[in-house]
Amino acid sequence: MAYIINDACVKCGTCVDNCPVEAISEGEDKYIIDADLCVNCGTCAENCPVEAIEEG
């Protein structure tokens, strides 16, 4: 399953900068991970400073 970004997201952009497949884009209230592009590497979750990314 792809990772998801929860409501704790502060839109800092760290996840976008670290995603190797460019699966993350800016949403209205938080960043969004495209499940079709996500390769489940976990890099986004490892680098999120507010722990807003979890396995979906």
CA dist., res. 3 & res. 10, Å (int): 17
Residue 49 buriedness (CB in 10 A; 0-12 / 13-18 / 19+): exposed
What is the pLDDT, as a whole number, of residue 45?
A: 98
For the chain, residues with pLDDT lower than 50 are none
User: Tokens 């976008």 identify what position?
Assistant: 16
pLDDT by residue (tens digit) across 27-38? Answer: 999 999 999 999
User: Tokens 């499940």 identify what position?
Assistant: 35
Q: Which domains does the chain have, with CATH numbers?
A: 3-55 (3.30.70.20)
What is the pLDDT, as a whole number, of residue 49?
A: 98
What is the pLDDT, as a whole number, of residue 35?
A: 96
pTM score of the predicted model:
0.91
What is the pLDDT, as a whole number, of residue 1?
A: 79
What is the pLDDT, as a whole number, of residue 24?
A: 98
Give the tokens for residue 49. 């400073």
